[in-house]
Structure 1
Amino acid sequence: MKILHVASFDGNIGDNASHIGFHSLLSRVMDEGTYSIEQLEIRKFYNNYTLPDKHRFDDDFATLANSYDLLFIGGGGFLDFDIKGSPTGTTIGISPSILDKIKVPVVISSIGCNPRNEIPEGNINKFKDFLDSYLGHSNRYLAVRNDGSREVIREVIGEHYYNAIPEVLDHGFFYDNDGSFYRPTEKDYILINTTSDQVQMKNRLLGEVDQDSYVDEMGKVISHIIDNTPYDIVFAPHIYSDYKAIDILLKNVNDFHLRTRIVVAPYVQGDYGCNQIFSAYKNSALVLGMRFHANVCTIAMNTPGIGLGALDRVSGLYRSLGMDGQFVTVDQPFSNELITGMGKYIKTPGINTTKLAEMKADMIDYYHKILNA
């Protein structure tokens, strides 16, 4: 089987971990040597992509898809229906007329549907039209990831679509490090993943996050770690702009502590960088993670962690696994709650392993069904 895989391969190391997990999942449901995968970068379809190799969801794309045995789109947050000017309201801007020209089976899976910006007028109807066209064919499959997306569909798009679209795990739950070993400091450490972009995004459930308040609350947590624990602090960027977020948090840290207690991991990309940085996650005593895959991979590797919920999808992730008490939301004062949680979970994973194992088994069964139909 020749598979055309459309997703973000050059986005950040969380995306890479997701795709490594996808390959691991495929190896469990398809015999080795019976399939091949060609990757197509979805960022080349973005409206703001201006390089000469730009792609479009047009007749040429339909022709390309039909030259394969299967079109697979995901994982990623590509069904957030807040994209201005998209014929579907989403990043997957395949109009119903183009969709009708794609004759091979199509799978859109491990996908997020959790808008983070104002929804342009008309987008909900565009999205419904896309879903009606897509779900009306027996050789098309759509499943959202376990980040609260299915609840968004029920509450915003409608019960009918909620019933028609199942939830699966994010592919990152099948991520396993390739054996890379990276330990940023010789002492035990707490790893923090913080962002600047996600703090500024909008949410459906969480309130507005005030960046100054977030920095103040995280400053209290950093001071607690330095003053009251033996642990070093390692910051792990996933994209280049994460350095800005790290810099903001460190401006009020004593210079001597910066030199003796703080480490910043390198900015590295691709599968190699993914395995290096997530090795640092795996070797930590505790992860405080803001990005979605910072949390997914922490759980997947059975590493202790607490989610920093700047976006609804982080809280949705933990709730889907029955781990409601293992994240804080940063739209309100959270330092005391986080410090208490650190004392509880340091070096002690609070993962609901039974529920996770059941969800992984269900996903393997689902993929075996749709990929061997």
Structure 2
Amino acid sequence: MTSRPGRRLTDAERLAWLRLARSAHVGPRTFRELLRLYGSAEAALDALPGLSRRGGDRDFRVFGHDQAEREMAAAARSGIQLTALHEPDYPPLLRETVAPPPLIGIRGLVDALHRPAVALVGARNASIPGLKMAGLLARGLAESGFVTVSGLARGIDTAVHRASLAGGTVAVLAGGHDRIYPPENEPLLEQILATGCAISEMPVGHEPRAKDFPRRNRLIAGLSLGLVVVEAAERSGSLISARLALEENREVFAVPGSPLDPRAAGTNRLLKQGAVLVTGVEDVTGVLAPLVAMGPQRLGAEEQDRPAPVEPADDQRARVLDLLGPVPVAVDDIVRQAGLSVATVRIVLLELELAGRVWRDPAGGAGLL
């Protein structure tokens, strides 16, 4: 097995990472900001109550030690490896995304996450030609040395996983590892684990909700060098995956379909917008071969200089708050208009976010809730 960079967490550190990641209003971006400011999850946990109180929430509760221990024990019983962002087993391409999950649960063969990967997604109510094309592409990619990534949904996802079992495939779950959706794909998942793996950022026992599927889609896009949409209607979740892939500078491919079939409306629109047209596996491998040769870039966030946390004055908080509204504003614009340092503005936004008073858009801007 090839040596991978990174340091494995101790059990105590992993518990602290889990507590921080599960605490209220701590999303992936906020998690990394807290780690950057305080140097460790343990120190960030100590700082959370004060930060949220200064942001306006006096009832903030950190995710409990006992709760985290129970979650870790449940994961261990299910054969789930909880892997942290800077550990060697964490998928390198996912680590390079804008907001990678601090912890992911992995079941199956971890090595599948460290091979070149291509995502294939599409309609749940897929046509017979669409299912056939998905299978042909998946088998061709496996023969070319790629792992396939998909969401274990009905239709195209199922066809992709089945066709690429021999070469290895990754199933990205919207719920916990024990809450498979759809339930009829549980036997397929067991087959996947023999040669590939399944991952989820959700705890054991978490039932997938509608809002969890776009979160899953960002992982599908982030794990892959490129994303192929086989069939997608307008307003399809597969188009969300394509947008997320573009935001992460991944290659987007689309299979053309009949203009008379509404299941092809989304893919045909992607082609009009510049997606790479796919009629065979060579259309995908030809574009991705140079990217495979380059390998993933190394993220140095954990090695950046750590600024000393500051406690802004009340008037500084007020100046930042006055500049916020329902439409997100870029941090640079807030810094310029408020006449404050970047560090001061970032800590004020962190306080407000932990108090549940602001939200952050994909570009990092902040808006009032």
- TM bracket, shorter-chain basis: 0.3 to 0.5
Q: TM-score scaled by structure 1?
A: 0.34
Bigger RCO of structures 1 and 2 (CA < 8 A, at least 6 apart):
1
Q: With structure 2 as the length reference, what TM-score do the two structures score?
A: 0.35
